Amino acid sequence: MPLKIISYNLNGIRSALSKGFAEWLSENHFDIVCVQETKAQPDQIDHSVFESLGYHHCWHSAEKKGYSGVATFSKIAPDNIIVGCGEPRFDSEGRILRTDYGDLTVLNCYFPSGTTGDVRQAVKMEFLDYFFNWVHELRKERPNLIIVGDYNIAHQEIDIHDPKGNKNSSGFLPEERAWMTQWFDSSFIDAFRYKHPEKVEYSWWTFRAGARGKNKGWRIDYQSVSEPIANKILDAGQYTQVVHSDHCPVWMEIDL
C-alpha cells in the first residue's frame, strides 16, 4: 500500500494551527507528516488535536524557546525514535528527528539558515559537512532512507525565480549548490526532480512585496530518497495553494 509523506516548514506550529493546519490534516490522508520550525516546546501544544486524527507524534525542540524545532506525526507507530544526530551544537537547536518503520527510516530535518550573516552561514556549512558524513554512516545500517525537510538551499536555477539576482544570496551560493549536487550524486534521489525533471514549482516565498502572489519563490524543501527504494516513488510535488506558512507542504507517494 502506498505511503503518502508530507514535509512542511510551518514557521511556528501554533501560528499554523490558528490558520487551520489541523483542519487541513483532517481533510486529507497523510501517513507521515514531518514539520519543521515548530518554534514550540511539546508542552505548549494540545496533543489531542493530532491524536484525535490518529497520529502518533514525537518532537525535537530547540533549547531556545520559540526557535527552530521539528516534529513528526505518523498514522503508523514508529518502531524506533532517535532524537538528534549526536552533535550537541546542532542537537541543541532541534534540527533532526529520526523515526523507523520496519526497514524504512525517515529523517525529519531543518537545516540551518545563513541569511542572518557570516556567523550563521559558517554554522550552516559546518552542518552540511557533518550531516553528509553522518547520513552516509547511517546508510550502512539503514539503507532505506527518506530524508525530508527544509534544506534551506535551492539546488538549480530551475529551483529559484531569479537565479542571477540571487547568485550571492545565502541559500543559492555556489558552495551550497555544490553541496546539493554532491548530495544527489551520492546515491540520493530528489523525489520531485525524479518524477518531474523540467517542472517549475516552489516551496517558499518571502513575505515581502507580494512574492507568493507573483510566484517569486524558491524550492528549498526536499524529499531525498536513497537509491535502493527510489524506483518505488510514485509521484511528488508541492501543494502550492496550501497557505499556513511562508512555505507550502511538499509531498511524495511511495509504494514500498
In this structure, what C-alpha cell is assigned to residue 121? 552561514
Res. 150 pLDDT band, cuts 50 70 90? very high
Give the chain's mean pLDDT.
97
| pLDDT of amino acid 175 | 98
| pLDDT of amino acid 14 | 98
One-character DSSP codes across 145-158: EEEEEE-----SGG
> Smallest Cα–Cα separation from 246: which of 5, 90, 23, 39?
39
One-character DSSP codes across the chain: --EEEEEEE-SSHHHHHHTTHHHHHHTS--SEEEEE---S-GGGS-THHHHTTT-EEEEE--SSTTS--EEEEESSPPSEEEES-S-HHHHTTT-EEEEEETTEEEEEEEPPP-TT-HHHHHHHHHHHHHHHHHHHHHHHH--EEEEEEE-----SGGGBS-TTTTTTSTTS-HHHHHHHHHHHTTTEEEHHHHH-TT----SB--SGGGTTTTT--B--EEEEEEHHHHTTEEEEEE-TT--SSSB--EEEEE--
One-character DSSP codes across 217-253: -B--EEEEEEHHHHTTEEEEEE-TT--SSSB--EEEE
pLDDT tens digits for range 94-149: 999 999 999 999 999 999 999 999 999 999 999 999 999 999 999 999 999 999 99
Burial (CB count <10 Å: 0-12, 13-18, 19+), residue 212: middle
Give me the mean pLDDT over the 232-241 stretch: 98
Which amino acid type is present at position 112?
P
May I ask the CATH architecture of the domain 3-254?
A: 4-Layer Sandwich (3.60)
Domain borders along the chain are 3-254
pTM of the model: 0.98
- Look at residue 1 and tell me whether its pLDDT is greater than 90: no
- 188 forms bridges with which residues in the sheet? 226
Q: Which residues are catalytic?
A: 150
Helices and strands in the chain, H and E counts: 8, 12
Res. 156 pLDDT band, cuts 50 70 90? very high
